[in-house]
Chain A
Amino acid sequence: MLAQQIINGLSLGGVYALFALGFTLLFGVLNVINLAHGAIFMIGAYAGLQAVLTFHFSLLPAVLVAMLAAGIAGLSLDRLILAPLRARRAPHLAPMIATIGVAICLTSLVEGYFGAENLRFPLDTLPASTVSLGDVQLSWLDLKIIFLALLLMAVMLWVIRHSRIGRALRGLAESPKAATLLGVNVEGLFLATSVISSILGGVAGVLIALYTNSVFPNMGQPMLHKGIAVVILGGMGDVRGALIGGFFLGFAEVLSIAYIGSSMRDAVAFGLLFCVLLLRPAGLFGHAPQRRV
């Protein structure tokens, strides 16, 4: 029983971590709270589903299609909205409010085109086979989700820690002005960050769609709330914090459904969050300045 819960926690937590990683990356580099991240997550889920339904793709190509669709969404988000706002030196709340508009637009477009009902993957595309490990039954789907999530996280961590782009990104997060002076292509990196962040959100979307086997226009909204909780818990803009926070929330949810019951679960999670913020305002791993005065 416990082993089964651990597998569930790992797969759900992995998806939360991917989603939160994308959210926190955009905040860390562009300083934008992207309230459209949930809608882009939903776009990923729909793209993956359509790849399976209309083109009869298998799961891995479907995930790639979801990444592509979400990446295009991220590209448009930066070019059409965030870049013009940067050019106009908009006050720091403006981009966040604009992303509310983006979320409304995307959700409305998808609802108008595909309808508001809950769509499902055809049963034969989901691998139902299981592996026995001792007396524990593991489903291949869970294992694939966990593998893919961990792989993407490892790639992202490597890119951020060790590659040239990662160094430039960290420099940019530290100080855009200094990065520009050092010859970093700031606009290009902002664009790249928006695309990468959206791809991570889109992958999380298609994975959660496979995990729960349901796709609907508003599926991004609860995810956005959870993503924000994860990111606060880990520390805004902190990559390591987003990963640990994601797994923490995944395990907390799975274990509380299994052992406590679900009604006060969210209150406990957000109550905990509230307390963490009072004790460590920058989150568990964050190190942002507190009040200056």
Chain B
Amino acid sequence: MEWLDNFWAIYSTLALSAGTNVLLALSIYATLACGLLSVANAAFMAIGAYGAALLTVQAGTPLLLALMVGSTGAALVALLIGIPTLRLSGVYLAMATLAFGEVVRILILNAEDVTGGALGLNGIPHLVGFFEVTISVAAALYVFLRLAHSRFGRTITAISQDEIATELMGLNVRAHKLVCFVAGAALAGLAGGLNAHFTSFISPNEYGFERAVEILAMGVIGGTGSPWGAVLGGTLITLLPELLRGLGHYRPLINGIILIVIIIYSPKGLWDGLQTLLRRSHAGA
């Protein structure tokens, strides 16, 4: 098993990042699935990361408790901003959540006494490994897959297809949206807490606009039709730059071109594209 140890030594951070990115992709899937275009997940990730890391660094709190506090903190903030903002629709919600994300980032940047400001938070204990990340991803995925065909999951699908019809059937659209938004935030907060405890360093600029858009890209590239799409999207966006490492200077260029090609040829996401392909080859055989 020596090669496995070697492999792990080299690629552990990458594998763990892939895991937390899958969690983030699932967190945006939670909102996209009911037709909410929210890009606040980077901010919720920041809240979870700073919440958990401050606890373990300054109070020596056990990891599990710190993660739970970080994640709950993100969920509470989501509840507070969700009640007024979720009445916005489409692109206006995206813009409001984008503005909220910037406010969170700049607040962290300026609360230097607590967060370390632009210099970031250093020396976070290395407490998260393969086990913690795998358990979290598996648990989240299990919940999503179980919910897909439950009463709740079907209501969410109905909302994404026609809000008015769903409301007329006597279902509480706002409450369901709020639950999705808060659950997504909790998951993003958990991903942030996990991520902070294997990178050992966090700074406010990791959670800015670029990260928010990257999370959205993971969700959309993977596909919003199934939780498996999020798994695919999160993994691909993490691994693609590494797979292209040999290309040197023009690596981001090829990376960008691949993203464009995927979107043009499979606009509903990779998961949907794969299934169409499978069905077609099935029918052909």
Contacts and interface: CB of A to CB of B under 8 A. Distances in A.
A112 B166 CA distance: 51
A102 B260 contact: yes
Interface in A169-205: none
Interface residues of B, number: 47
Contacts of B84: 278
Nearest to A90: B267
B256 A112 contact: no
A33 interface: yes
A108 interface: yes
B168 to A, nearest CB: 9
B256 A274 contact: no
Interface residues of A, number: 49
Nearest to B168: A293
Nearest to B167: A293
Interface in B211-241: 213, 216-217, 220-221
Given A81-B260, A94-B220, A225-B209, A277 B96 contact: yes
A98 B259 contact: yes
Interface of B is mostly: helix
Contacts of B107: 267
Contact of B260 (A98, A267, A281): A98
Interface stretch (A125-133, A228-236, A248-256): A228-236
Given A88-B267, A112-B249, A264-B110, A100 B89 contact: no
Interface in A279-293: 281-282, 288-293
Contacts of A278: 84-85, 96
Contact of A112 (B87, B217, B250): B250
Given A104-B256, A225-B209, A293 B163 contact: yes
A291 B220 CA distance: 23
Contacts of A85: 263-264, 267
Interface in A80-120: 81, 84-85, 88, 90-91, 93-95, 97-98, 100-105, 107-109, 112
Max chain B C-beta neighbours (<10 A), residue from A102, A263, A281, A282: A281
A289 B99 contact: no
Contacts of B110: 263-264, 267
Contacts of B87: 281, 290-291
Given A281-B87, A290-B88, A98 B264 contact: yes
A91 B268 contact: yes
B68 interface: no
User: B37, B94, B98, B264 — which one has the most chain A CB atoms within 10 A of its CB?
Assistant: B264
Given A94-B220, A293-B163, A293-B173, A267 B103 contact: yes
Contact of A107 (B89, B252, B268): B252
Interface string A6-42: 0000000000000000000001000001010000000
B252 A271 contact: no
A273 interface: yes
A14 B167 CA distance: 45
A105 B256 CA distance: 5
Contacts of A293: 163-164, 166-167, 173-174
Nearest to A266: B106
B250 A108 contact: yes
B100 A274 contact: yes
15 contacts: A94-B267, A98-B264, A100-B259, A101-B256, A105-B256, A112-B253, A232-B99, A266-B102, A267-B103, A277-B88, A278-B84, A281-B87, A290-B88, A292-B163, A293-B164
